[in-house]
Chains A and B, each alone.
Chain A
Amino acid sequence: MKKPLVLISLLLVLALALTACSASFDPAKNISVVAREDGSGTKTAFMELIGLRGKADPRHVVTQNGVAGVLAEVKGNPHAVAYESLGYVTKDVKALKVNGVEASVANIKNGTYQIARPLSVVYKESTLSNSLYNAFLTFLKSSNAQNIINDEGYVSVVDNAAAYTINSSLSGTIEISGSTSLQPLMGELASAFKKLQPNVTINVAGGGSGTGYNNAENGVSQFGMISEVFGQARAASCTHYIVAQDGIAVIVNKKNPLDNITMDQLKNIYDVDAGASAILKWDALVK
């Protein structure tokens, strides 16, 4: 009496699971817009780069608090679109071309891929006459630093870098402040440098790119961090070094036939105030 019941319910569950798995792409469906949580560096950078700085998310967006959540959603949902640091994008999802340019390390380095920005330190040339500060800049260019940059999901800009050579006579304090976008990476780099040079203390503070320019110009910090293209006018006596590039890929499900997206389309997907030009369904993008 009970066995058929159990069997039927099992079959039902199996059938439901199968239908759930075999979902295919349908252009008439709504775009599932995925975003990161407020305060995420990736979100701030992405919104800024597509021209939506400081705007709220559209009402229908799904917020995932982490790389894993974003990737899982895009992997499983044929109608999802999301953004994530290029270094974290896996083979389970598809990265779109933006304005016809593929999201690749090479295209970020040569500046053709648009959703990318340099993360730099600004400093005075005279700073480098100090052997400690000079050693730190050398470290930033070394293979030790490039490995950390790649591991953290950023694009390293120095090819064939040499390993850092330890100078046991170094000691002192380095003050670094500025962009909160570069701050987490700089924190990692600083702690790696401290492991190599145990007598050195490095203070990495935030404050924003503006603070980075000002503190470097006024000598408050030896290195100021900025997350934009270096503007000489903002720190007249300083020069800069690009530590890494922050590239953000636009990702969709592998079943999605779309290959390319324009900056305008992207903006109309993520703009809460897009109004009539808002793109809500995939058929606006997939012909």
Chain B
Amino acid sequence: MNKAYRFIKARDNVMRGIFLFCAVFSVMALGCICVFLFAEGLPFIGKVGPANFFGTTWHLDSAAYGILSMIVASLYVTALSTAIGVTAGLFTAISLYKFCPPKAVPPIRQMINLLAGIPSVIFGLFGLIIIVPFLRDVISPNGMGYGILAASLVLSVMILPTIVSVSLDALNAVPKNYFEGAIALGATKEQSVFKVMLPAAKSGVLAAVVLSIGRAIGETMAVIMVIGNSPVMPTSLFQSVRTMTANIALGATELSGDAATALVATGVVLFFFTLLLNLSISLLRGGGGRERKGA
């Protein structure tokens, strides 16, 4: 009896140690990445000067490491792809919620989730072979298919699964009697969904938006293949520009010395944007919790 108890206790301790190690491991990984980014990147920004680093010229041979054009391009691409993706994704979620034949919902959800599993390089290839030539030959006024629009279209498809599944879950979490109550008060189905259910699911939908912004700003491979990668300030939707992630990936295996450190410093800026997004997610989550308790 005593022996068995001691064995169980020892096993518990071993497992506790393993779990603790796992938890510490992920924290340590984060710590290492942070230390690497800041120890390499921040001194570099200090060395070349913020005026150079946040300038508009990126030309390695003349030691110009300005990434402002890339920050702007990243923001444009993220904003446009989120606008397209959220519009399409939210309406998809609403349609799956109440307007789609119930039998069709599981297969459609499955297919949208499958979309999330497709590697980003496949999306990039799709963009390169279908979207870029199409934009170039049919839509573009200047014969340039690469650019912000092409990247945004590809990214908007990539963020669809996030938006659809998170906002559909948010809608499903709203108590059914809200809908029934609205119908009983004489509202149509459309009115009840758009004016009652959707506002009630607001915090979940907002979380979906923030999550997809995170995906859009961090996506690299698909963007490299369709955006053209010229480090210039964006002035048009059909113009070869470069995002921060593309800048890092393009040079990572080829550059050395200061140029390679400039990529790490680009990573620091990207890290700040991601941090900002994560903070806003936790703020939204906190807000959502309070709302539900009140209701």
Contact = CB atoms under 8 A, between A and B. Distances in A.
Asked if A pairs with B, the answer is yes
Interface of A: 16-17, 19-21, 23, 29-30, 32, 37-40, 54-57, 59-65, 69, 72-73, 76-77, 79
Interface in B103-162: 128-130, 133-134, 136-138, 142-146
B231 to A, nearest CB: 8
B133 A76 contact: yes
6 contacts: A30-B142, A56-B61, A57-B230, A62-B144, A62-B230, A77-B145
A63 B129 contact: no
Given A29-B143, A59-B232, A61-B228, 10 more contacts: A17-B130, A20-B130, A32-B144, A40-B254, A54-B61, A62-B146, A62-B230, A62-B240, A63-B240, A64-B229
Contact of B229 (A32, A40, A63, A79): A63
Contacts of A17: 130, 134
A63 B240 CA distance: 8
Nearest to A54: B61
Contacts of B242: 63
A19 B254 CA distance: 38
Contacts of A79: 143
A37 B228 contact: no
Nearest to A47: B61
Contacts of B145: 77
B284 interface: no
B91 to A, nearest CB: 16
Contacts of B142: 30
Given A29-B143, A30-B143, A20 B229 contact: no
A253 B224 CA distance: 22
Interface centre among A20, A21, A76 (most CB of B within 10 A): A20
Given A62-B146, A65-B250, A23 B133 contact: yes
Given A30-B144, A32-B143, A19 B240 contact: no
A38 B138 contact: no
Contacts, number: 82
B129 A72 contact: yes
B197 interface: no
B95 to A, nearest CB: 13
B66 to A, nearest CB: 12
A87 to B, nearest CB: 19
A16 B138 contact: yes
B212 interface: no
Contacts of A30: 142-144
A38 B228 contact: no
A59 B228 CA distance: 11
Contact of B251 (A20, A32, A39, A59): A39
B138 A37 contact: no
B230 A59 contact: yes
A63 B138 contact: no
Contacts of A63: 228-230, 240, 242, 250
B284 to A, nearest CB: 36
Nearest to B233: A59
Contacts of B138: 16, 19-20
B134 A16 contact: yes
A144 B294 CA distance: 78
B59 interface: yes
Contacts of A54: 61-62
B259 interface: yes
Contacts of A55: 61
Interface string B236-274: 000110100000011100110001000000000000000
B230 A37 contact: no
Interface in B162-179: none
A37 B133 contact: no
A55 B57 CA distance: 13
Given A38-B60, A38-B255, A60 B144 contact: yes
B230 A60 contact: yes
Contacts of B230: 57, 59-63
A21 B137 CA distance: 9
User: What are the 4 A-B residue pairs with the smallest beta carbon separation, nearest first?
Assistant: A39-B254, A63-B229, A54-B61, A23-B137
A72 to B, nearest CB: 6
A21 B130 CA distance: 9
Given A60-B239, A72-B129, A20 B134 contact: yes
Contacts of A59: 230, 232, 240
A74 to B, nearest CB: 12
B281 interface: no
